[in-house]
């Protein structure tokens, strides 16, 4: 069977692909090395605010919901909060936003312990407060 392609063509294409891949890798590395702006932090803070708000809703209704569901759902929610907290901590931000980042991390820890811990009035109050503060932070970062 006659060949439609030559190994040399394959080599040229391989080189082309590698060059493009290298360029993309360099571009990604460059972008990652840049400090990010408030937009990235706001994205995570919004997620955190939503998680805190949901925690508040669930804890308010705690006694009316099925126990097993309650425990399992709070577990999944707490897991998501942990993920968000880690993502916030891993963000490499501009100096101007770093204060907000510390604030967000602090709030994240509080939300994490309220949702992951005992369902009591202290947890409910903490969540409500954290939610309000997160909303304020979210609005600040919007500007």
Partner 1 sequence: MRKSLDLGREVLDHEIVDVDGVSCGMVDDLEFEDAPGGAPTVANLIVGPIAWSARTPALAAWLVRRVVRTPVVRVPWSAVAHVGETIQLRVTAQSLGLGKADRRVERWLSRIPGA
Partner 2 sequence: MGRFAEVFLGILTAVGGFVEIGELTFTLTAGSTFGYGLLWTTVLGTVGIILYCEMAGRIAAVKHRPVFSLIRERTGLTAAFVTLIASTVVNVLTCAAEVGGVALVWQLLSGWPYRLLVIGGFLFFVLVIWWMKFEWIERVFGLGGLLMLVYVVTALYDGPTWSDIASGLVPRQPENASPHQLAVYWYYAVAIMSSIMLPYETYFYASGAIEDHWKPGDIGLNRVIVMVGFSLGAVLSVALVSLGAEFFQPRHVEPQLPGTAALSAAIAFGSVGLYAALLGMFFAFAGAAIETALSSAYNIAQFLGWPWGKYRRPREAGRFTLTWFVVFLVCAAIILTGVDPVRIVEYSIVFSVIVLPFTYLPVLVVAADRRIMGAHANGIAMNVLGWAFLVVITVAALAAIPLFLLTHGGQG
Give the residues lining the site for partner 1 (CB under 8 A). 1, 3-7, 9-10, 12-14, 17
Residue 61 touches which member of partner 2, partner 1, none, C-beta under 5-8 Å by kind: partner 2
Q: Quick one: tokens of 82?
A: 């942990």
Dihedral sign of CA atoms 73, 79, 84, 88 in order: positive
Is residue 93 classed as helix, strand or coil in its secondary structure? strand
Q: Does 82 bind partner 2 (CB under 8 A)?
A: no
Question: In the complex, what is the shortest distance from the CB of residue 130 to partner 2, in angstroms, rounded to a whole number?
Answer: 12
Using CB under 8 A as the criterion, what x/- string covers residues 35-74 for binding partner 2?
A: ----xx-xxx-xx-xx--xx--xx--x--xxx-xx-xxx-
Q: Which is nearer to partner 1, 17 or 65 (CB)?
A: 17
Dihedral sign of CA atoms 23, 39, 105, 56 in order: negative
Q: Quick one: tokens of 109?
A: 């820890």
Residue 91 touches which member of partner 1, partner 2, none, C-beta under 5-8 Å by kind: none
Q: What is the DSSP string of 12-47?
A: HHHHHHHHHHHHHHHHHHHHHHSPB-HHHHHHHHHH
Q: Out of 110, 112, 130, 131, name the contact with partner 2 by CB under 8 A.
A: 131
Q: Which is nearer to partner 1, 18 or 96 (CB)?
A: 18
Report the distance separating Cα 109 and Cα 71, nearest Å. Answer: 19
Residue 77 touches which member of partner 2, partner 1, none, C-beta under 5-8 Å by kind: partner 2
């Amino acid at each position: 069977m006659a060949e439609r392609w030559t190994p040399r063509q394959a080599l040229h294409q391989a080189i082309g692909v590698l060059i493009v891949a290298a360029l993309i890798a360099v571009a990604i590395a460059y972008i990652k090395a840049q400090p990010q702006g408030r937009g990235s932090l706001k994205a995570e803070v919004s997620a955190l605010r939503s998680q805190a708000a949901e925690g508040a809703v669930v804890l308010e209704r705690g006694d009316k919901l099925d126990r097993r569901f309650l425990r399992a759902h709070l577990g999944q929610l707490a897991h998501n909060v942990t993920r968000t907290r880690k993502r916030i901590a891993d963000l490499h931000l501009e100096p101007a936003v770093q204060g907000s980042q510390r604030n967000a991390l602090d709030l994240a820890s509080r939300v994490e312990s309220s949702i992951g811990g005992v369902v009591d009035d202290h947890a409910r109050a903490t969540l409500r407060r954290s939610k309000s503060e997160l909303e304020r932070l979210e609005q600040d970062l919007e500007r």
